[in-house]
Amino acid sequence: MEQAEVPGAAREMRLEEWVQQYADAILRVCFLYLGDRSLAEDALQDTFLKAWKAMDRFEKKGVCSEKAWLMRIAVNTCRDYRRGRWFRHMDISTALEELPPRLLAREAEDRALAMDVARLPDKHRQVILLHYFQNLTLQETAQALGIPKSTVYKRLVRAEEMLKSMLTGGDAP
Amino acid sequence: MKELEMKEQVCRALNAQLSSLRTSPAQRDRLARNAMEGRKVKKTKVSLALVLALVLCLLTAGALAAVLLSGREIVEQVAVPIAQSSKQENYTYEELKTLIQTLNENGITLDEGSTLMQAFQAGHGYWERDTIDEICRAAFDGDLRNWTIEQMHWYGEMMTAIGAWEENIWLLPEEGDMTVEEARAYAAKALKDAYGADLPAESSDQWRISENFDLTWMYDDEAGHEEALWSFWYINLRTGNNDYNVTFDRSGGHITTWRADYLEKISTKNWGTVMDDLQSREGTCTQWGVETWAEFGELVKGMEADSRNGWLYLHAGYRLPPEGSISPERALEIAGNEMRYGEITGRLYENVICCTDGDRPIYKVCHRVIFRQEDLEKGGAYDDVWCLEIDCMSGEVLSKRQYAYGPDGDPMMMYVPFSLLEQAPPFEEKPADTEKEQAAQKRYEKEEAAIAQYGADMYFWPLQVQAEVYGEPCGVPTEAEYARALKIALDAIAKQYGKDAMTELGDYRVGLMHRRFDDEKENGCWQLEWDFMFTTDPEFLSDGYRVQFRQLIYEEDSLETIRDMMVEHANFGNG
C-alpha cells in the first residue's frame, strides 16, 4: 500500500536528522569528487535542497537506504558541477595537497594513501569512496551511482589492484 | 592485502586527511533552513582554504638559490603582470609562448609531459594559477610543504596579485611576534615538555622540519574565527613519517602537541597487532629494513599462531645479521649480480630480510622488476618477482625462486625461508570463509580466462562472456536493441562534443557493458542499461568518450524513455 506523504513537521524533522547525520559524510564525498571545498559546500547545500524536494518520492518508493539515496543525489549534483568551467582544471590530488597544512593528515602513510585514492581514475575512485569510505554495500553503491552491481564489483577489483600497486611502490597501471 | 584491511586503511587514511573538513553546528542549521526555504547559496569565489598550498619541494640550501631567484623573477616580472593585464583566468597561447621562451632563456624547462606543455604544444593557452605553479615546480624542484615561511608568503603574494586568492593567509612574523628561529626553538621545547622528545630546532640528518605560519580558521566557538598560528611538523627521514606536530598562536599560547601512536607502544596482543603497529610506524612490511624485521621477530617470540601465515612469521627467526656476516647492502648486491638485472631496463624494487633457516642465518632478498612499456606492448609480462636466499656468513646464493601470481602463488615465500613453507601445519578454515572463497575463486578463474582471451577491460569483452562471468542481470541485447542504443550514444556524443567528434577520434573500438531487467511489475517496462566506451586505446582509455544511459521500454518498438544520460571523456578523471 502506498504510504501517505510525510507531514510537514515530520518532514522538517527528518531533514534535520539527515543534515545532522550525513552532512559531513556528504561534504567529504563532494570534496573528493570536486576537489574544491567551496564547490563541495555548494553541492552539499544543493543535495539537501533536492532531498527536501524529493523526500516524499523517496519515502514512497523506499527502494534503497536513505544514505544511499542521499549519496546518489550528491554524486549526481557533483556530476553536474563538474561540467562547469572551474572543474576542468581542478586536479583532486592537488586539491588534497592544498588543504591547509594544519588540516593535513598527520601520518605520512595515511596521507600517501589518501593521495593515491584521489589519483585514481574517476570511475574507480567513486566506488572506493562509496563502498569503502562511506560503507555502502555493493548494492547501495550501485544504486547511488546508477550502475549495475557487477560494474561496481569490477571497478572495485580494479581500484584495489591500482591502490595495491601504488602502495607497493609501483605506479597505477 | 585483504579487502577488509584495504577498506580499513582507506577509511582511516581518508578520515585522517579530511578530518577537519566538517560542518559546524551553525552551518548544519543553515543547510536545513536553506533547503526548507528552497534557497540555493552559491559562492562565487573559490575558498581560501582550498587554494592555499602548492606542491613544491625541499630547497636544499644555497645550491638552488640562483634558480629560485630566476624562477621568482620570471613569476614576478613576467607571469604576474601578464595575468594582471587580462580579465581572463587563463594565459592565451601567445602569452604562454612568451612565458615559456623567457623560462627557457633562463635555463628553466618545464616538464614536457605536463598538462601545461601538452596544451601549449597543441596550440592552446593555460590557466594562470596552474602555470605559475608549474613554473615554481620547475624552478624549485618539488614540494611546497617544505618551503620556508618567507617563500610561502611570497607565493601567497603572487596568488593574491593575480586574483586567485582573496588575501594572503601565509604570514610573515611582524614586530612583536616571535622570529622564525624563536618559534622553532619554542616548538622543540613544547614537544620536549610534552613527550620528553629530543628534537632539533633545525632540520637535521634525522629530521626534516616542515613549518608554517598562517591564518587558520579555528572552530573553538560556534561561528569560528581566524587566528595566526605557527605549525611545525617533524618528519622522520628514516621512515618518511610525520612523528610529531605542534601548533601555537603568535603569542605562544593555545599550544597543541601530537605524537604518532606507534611511538608510544607497539601492541603485543598477537602477531597481527605487532605487525599492524610496526606498519604504522615503518610503512608496509615490504618496505621494512632488516632492523624492523628483527624487532618484529623479538616482539612475537613465544606467541601462538592462529593461521598458516602467522605460523610462518613466528617460525622465520627474524634477527639482526650475526657478527661477521656480510652486510644487507652486500646481500642486495650479490642478489643483483645473480639475477643480472643490468640487462633489463625496467624499474627495480628490492628489499632484504635477515632470518633463520634451520640454524643458518640467511638473507632473503626480494626483487621486483617492472618491465618497460615497450615490452608490455610486445606482449611481455608487467613484472617479475624473484626471491633469493643468501648465506649471511659466506654470501653464497643458496636458492632462488620466482613468485607466481594467481592462486598458485604463495606470497609468504618473500618473507620466510623457503624450507619453512612446506613445514607449516594445516589450520582449519571457517566454513563460511571457505564457501565465500570458493565462490570468489570460481569468479576469479572465469575472470582470468576472460582477461586472458579478451583483455583486462570488461567493456571490450563479448557481452555473452560478461554475462557468463557476472551472471544476471548482465545480458545480451538483440541486434535491433543494440543498433538503437548505439545511435542514441553516438547522437549524444555529437550533441556534447560536436558532430565531428567521432570522425576526429579515428579508428575507434566500441566497448559496452549492458544490463537488462524486467521492471514490468514496478514501472510497467523493461529497463536496459547501457554503458558504452568509444576509444582507440582500449587498454588505457587515453582517448574517446563514454556514454551511459538507461532505456525504459514500455512497448516493443514504440515507446521508450531515456534516463540518466551521461556523456564524458573516456579518460575523465585520470588527471
Task: State pLDDT tens for residues A10-56.
Answer: 778 888 888 988 898 898 888 887 777 777 888 899 899 888 887 87
In a domain, A96, yes or no: no
Look up the domain containing A15 and give its range: 1-90
Q: Mind telling me how many Å the CA of B117 is from chain A's nearest CA?
A: 14
Find the helix packing angle between A8-34 and A66-82, rounded to 10°: 50
Q: Closest-CA residue in chain A for B523? A: A61
The answer to whether residues B56 and B137 touch, using CB atoms and an 8 Å cutoff, is yes
Region B222-244: mean pLDDT is 77
Average pLDDT, chain B: 78
Task: List CB contacts of B525: < 8 A, sequence separation 6 or more.
Answer: B519, B552, B553, B554, B561
Q: B419, B424, B413, B421: which is closest to B305 by C-alpha?
A: B424
Q: Mind telling me how many Å the CA of B36 is from chain A's nearest CA?
A: 7
Could you tell me which residue, A143 or B508, shows the higher pLDDT?
Answer: B508
Residue A138's pLDDT band (boundaries 50, 70, 90)? confident
**What does B214-235 look like in DSSP terms, one character per residue?**
EEEEE-SSSS-EEEEEEEEEEE
Q: Closest-CA residue in chain A for B470? A: A150
Is residue A70 domain-shared with residue A10, that is, in the same domain? yes
Q: Tell me, what's the pLDDT at A35?
A: 73
By Cβ distance, the residue of B7, B28, B52 closest to A20 is B28
pLDDT more than 70, % of chain A: 69
pLDDT of B454 higher than 90: no
Region B272-283: mean pLDDT is 80
Region B452-466: mean pLDDT is 79
Number of Cβ atoms within 10 Å of the Cβ of B225: 10
Last residue of a domain, one of A68, A90, A112: A90
Q: Mind telling me how many Å the CA of B302 is from chain A's nearest CA?
A: 30
Could you tell me which residue, B484 or B137, shows the higher pLDDT?
Answer: B484
Residue B55's pLDDT band (boundaries 50, 70, 90)? very low
Could you tell me which residue, B324 or B349, shows the higher pLDDT?
Answer: B324
- CATH number of the domain enclosing A108: 1.10.10.10
Q: A47, A25, A23, A46: which is closest to B43 by C-alpha?
A: A46
Domains in chain A, number? 2
Is residue A144 domain-shared with residue A107, that is, in the same domain? yes
**How does strand B525-535 pair with strand B545-555?**
antiparallel
Last residue of a domain, one of A35, A62, A90: A90
Q: Mind telling me how many Å the CA of B47 is from chain A's nearest CA?
A: 5
Number of residues that make up chain A: 173
Q: How does pLDDT run across B488-524, given as a tens digit for each residue? A: 899 888 888 888 889 888 888 898 888 887 766 655 6
Region A87-99: mean pLDDT is 48
Range of lowest pLDDT (A7-16, B84-93, B377-386): B377-386
The answer to whether residues A70 and A50 touch, using CB atoms and an 8 Å cutoff, is no
Range of lowest pLDDT (A13-27, A58-72, B255-269): A58-72
Q: Count of CB contacts below 8 A, A vs B? A: 235
pLDDT of A90 higher than 50: no
Is residue A15 domain-shared with residue A69, that is, in the same domain? yes
Q: How does pLDDT run across B151-160, given as a tens digit for each residue? A: 888 888 888 8
Q: Tell me, what's the pLDDT at B65?
A: 32
Residue B296's pLDDT band (boundaries 50, 70, 90)? very high
In a domain, A5, yes or no: yes
Range of lowest pLDDT (B11-25, B109-123, B263-277, B366-380): B366-380
Range of lowest pLDDT (A88-102, B202-216, B318-332, B545-559): A88-102
- CATH number of the domain enclosing A64: 1.10.1740.10
CB of B349 less than 8 A from some CB of A:
yes
pLDDT of B475 higher than 90: no
Q: Tell me, what's the pLDDT at B185?
A: 95
B470 vs A107: CB contact, 8 Å cut-off?
A: no
**Which of A102-106, B179-183, B227-231, B239-243: highest mean pLDDT?**
B179-183
pTM of structure: 0.42
CB of B203 less than 8 A from some CB of A:
no
Task: List CB contacts of B56: < 8 A, sequence separation 6 or more.
Answer: B136, B137, B140, B142, B143, B144, B145, B146, B147, B155
Q: How does pLDDT run across B184-193, given as a tens digit for each residue? A: 999 999 999 9
Q: Tell me, what's the pLDDT at B63?
A: 28
Is residue A141 domain-shared with residue A68, that is, in the same domain? no
Which whole-number Å values give the CA distances from B138 to A37, B132, B375, B447, B460, in the listed order? 27, 10, 30, 44, 40
pLDDT of A110 higher than 90: no
Cell of A28: 567529504
**Sheet strands side by side (includes B525-535):** B509-519, B525-535, B545-555, B559-569
In a domain, A118, yes or no: yes
In a domain, A98, yes or no: no
Region B447-458: mean pLDDT is 75
In a domain, A95, yes or no: no
Is residue A2 domain-shared with residue A83, that is, in the same domain? yes
Could you tell me which residue, B469 or B51, shows the higher pLDDT?
Answer: B469
Is residue A84 domain-shared with residue A112, that is, in the same domain? no
Task: List CB contacts of B405: < 8 A, sequence separation 6 or more.
Answer: none
CA dihedral A147, A150, A154, A156 (to 10 degrees): 70
Is residue A3 domain-shared with residue A66, that is, in the same domain? yes
By Cβ distance, the residue of B21, B471, B575 closest to A93 is B575
User: If DSSP codes are grouped into helix, strand and coil, which group holds residue B548?
Assistant: strand
pLDDT of B33 higher than 90: no
Is residue A119 domain-shared with residue A48, that is, in the same domain? no
Chain A residues touching residue B241 (CB < 8 angstroms): 107-109
Phi, psi (rounded to 5 degrees) for B48: -60, -40
A133 vs B10: CB contact, 8 Å cut-off?
A: yes
Q: Mind telling me how many Å the CA of B324 is from chain A's nearest CA?
A: 32
By Cβ distance, the residue of B16, B45, B127 closest to A107 is B16
In a domain, A52, yes or no: yes
- Helix (H) / strand (E) containing B119: helix B115-121
Amino acid at B224: G
pLDDT more than 70, % of chain B: 76
Q: How far apart are CA B273 and CA A60, in angstroms?
A: 47
ipTM of the complex: 0.77
Is residue A24 domain-shared with residue A65, that is, in the same domain? yes
Q: Tell me, what's the pLDDT at B370?
A: 64
pLDDT of A74 higher than 60: yes
Find the helix packing angle between A138-145 and A66-82, rounded to 10°: 40
In degrees, rounded to 5, the angle at the alpha carbon of residue B572 between the alpha carbons of residues B129 and A77 is 85
CB of B373 less than 8 A from some CB of A:
no
Last residue of a domain, one of A90, A118, A137: A90
Number of Cβ atoms within 10 Å of the Cβ of B395: 15
Region B399-408: mean pLDDT is 79
CB of B552 less than 8 A from some CB of A:
no
Instruction: Determine the distance from the C-alpha atom of residue A117 to the mean position of all C-alpha atoms in its chain, rounded to a whole number.
Output: 13
Q: How does pLDDT run across B313-339, given as a tens digit for each residue? A: 999 999 999 999 999 999 998 988 887
Is residue A55 domain-shared with residue A117, that is, in the same domain? no
Region B472-480: mean pLDDT is 82
pLDDT of B87 higher than 60: yes
Residues of chain A numbered 87-126 and touching chain B (CB < 8 Å): 89, 91-114, 117, 119, 121-123, 125
Is residue A84 domain-shared with residue A107, that is, in the same domain? no
Is residue A85 domain-shared with residue A6, that is, in the same domain? yes
